[in-house]
Amino acid sequence: MDVYIGPWVPPSMRIGVVGAGVMGRNHARVVHQSRNTLIGIVDPVLEGAREVARLHGTEAYGSLEELLDGPVAPEAVIVATPTETHGDLVLRALDAGLHVLVEKPIATDIPTARRMVDAAKDARRTLAVGHIERHNPVVAFAKKALAEGRFGKPITLSTRRVSNLPGRIRDVGCVLDIGIHDIDVLDHLAGGPPKRVFSVGGNHAAKGGLEDHANLLLDYGHVKGAVEVNWLTPRKVRKLALTCDEAFVECDYIEQVAEVSRTTFGALDPGDLYQVPVQTHLERIELIKEEPLRRELDDFVDACASGRPALADGEVGLQALAVAFAALRSLSSGRPEEPELLEVA
């Protein structure tokens, strides 16, 4: 029997991208740049699909079924369409025997998200969700460092994700559109969902009365979380801060840099109690910059090939959605709310 002893070769797949909008174009580019084969772009706005297909030397299709009937059978699809279409498209793709990476939020309601997770289980197919920040090297660094106890015991985890009002507002406010990124990161670092969420915020400028600013407090029990999110800030800030009992760590999602501050206290001089000898040490950690979308694709393809869960699988998507909905309920009830966490079948 021949035993292959060469270098590990990552698996590759035949992948179709559904949705030729902002995110679909990015996914198509990343698939094309990878070892995988981009076998088609699907969009009912055919001109959009053709434009992206031309860019990456592949075919354009007007519907998922046309892609499935195409000359080359896909093994997986990436669904980057408006959130309200995720449920139907993902269930049709799983039914056709495909693995699926669907953009976040997984769906517009919990029962639909749950049906998607159950269907993937029944079909024995990988379902991954586009919680891209889990694949950000600075989040991977924080997760590993916390697990190793590098900063001592975590006490609070807080994030700031603010920027200008987006050019085009979808049918959801800032909590479901961008806040859900940090809800997922804090769940990831805390090791599970919060027991309860309290949030304040509201509408200042966004059309349709959608919430354009919100502050969330997430109680994980062993650690406390805080998420600040708004569309009312004239510059883009994407930060994560870890307050631990041995260090303060500030992570920049965009720069993929972590700054670790530690304080050491010298001996007190009884003759000068005003001078407390404190020394602060600042360590700047610049991570090897990698595109999180590419790491997300590699994780998805490896999960499909190995059968292991994706780093952000369907359950993770369902959980993040449940916590986001609890935050939205709290925004209107003015009370702390518990996430509706249903056991998946």
Ligand X SMILES: NC(=O)c1ccc[n+]([C@@H]2O[C@H](COP(=O)([O-])OP(=O)(O)OC[C@H]3O[C@@H](n4cnc5c(N)ncnc54)[C@H](O)[C@@H]3O)[C@@H](O)[C@H]2O)c1
Enumerate the β-bridge partners of residue 263. 280
Closest to ligand X by CB, 103 or 196? 103
Enumerate the β-bridge partners of residue 259. 250, 284
Closest to ligand X by CB, 20 or 258? 20
Closest to ligand X by CB, 183 or 260? 183
- Under the binding rule (CB under 6 A), the answer on residue 82 touching ligand X is yes
Are the CB atoms for 134 and 309 separated by under 8 Å?
Answer: no
- Under the binding rule (CB under 6 A), the answer on residue 23 touching ligand X is yes
Closest to ligand X by CB, 223 or 293? 293
Enumerate the β-bridge partners of residue 165. none
Task: Give the DSSP per-residue string, 274-327.
Answer: T---EEEEEEEEEPPP--HHHHHHHHHHHHHHH-PPPTTBHHHHHHHHHHHHHH
Encoded tokens for 49: 């699909």
- Under the binding rule (CB under 6 A), the answer on residue 130 touching ligand X is yes
CA–CA distance, 166 with 198 (Å, rounded to integer): 25
Are the CB atoms for 186 and 225 separated by under 8 Å?
Answer: yes
- Under the binding rule (CB under 6 A), the answer on residue 1 touching ligand X is no
- Under the binding rule (CB under 6 A), the answer on residue 100 touching ligand X is no
User: What one-character DSSP code corresponds to residue 165?
Assistant: P
| Binding piece for ligand X, criterion CB under 6 A, among 79-87, 143-151, 156-164, 257-265 | 79-87
Find the shortest distance in angstroms from Cβ 193 to ligand X.
Answer: 20
Enumerate the β-bridge partners of residue 237. 162
CA–CA distance, 283 with 243 (Å, rounded to integer): 15
Enumerate the β-bridge partners of residue 184. none
What residues contact 300, with CB distance under 8 A and at least 6 apart? 76, 99, 101, 126, 128, 310
Residue nearest to ligand X (CB): 21
- Under the binding rule (CB under 6 A), the answer on residue 103 touching ligand X is yes
Binder to ligand X among 104, 135, 196, 213 (CB under 6 A)?
A: 104
Binder to ligand X among 85, 156, 233, 243 (CB under 6 A)?
A: 85
Site for ligand X in 181-240 (CB under 6 A): none
- Under the binding rule (CB under 6 A), the answer on residue 20 touching ligand X is yes
- Under the binding rule (CB under 6 A), the answer on residue 22 touching ligand X is yes
Find the shortest distance in angstroms from Cβ 27 to ligand X.
Answer: 9
Report how far Cα 340 is from the mean position of its chain's Cα atoms: 20
* Element (DSSP H or E) covering residue 298: helix 292-306
Binder to ligand X among 15, 16, 17, 24 (CB under 6 A)?
A: 24
- Under the binding rule (CB under 6 A), the answer on residue 45 touching ligand X is yes
Find the shortest distance in angstroms from Cβ 176 to ligand X.
Answer: 8
Closest to ligand X by CB, 146 or 177? 177
- Under the binding rule (CB under 6 A), the answer on residue 157 touching ligand X is no
Angle at 192 between CA 190 and CA 195, to 5 degrees: 95
Footprint on this chain of ligand X (rule: CB under 6 A): 18-24, 42-45, 48, 80-83, 85, 89, 103-104, 130, 132
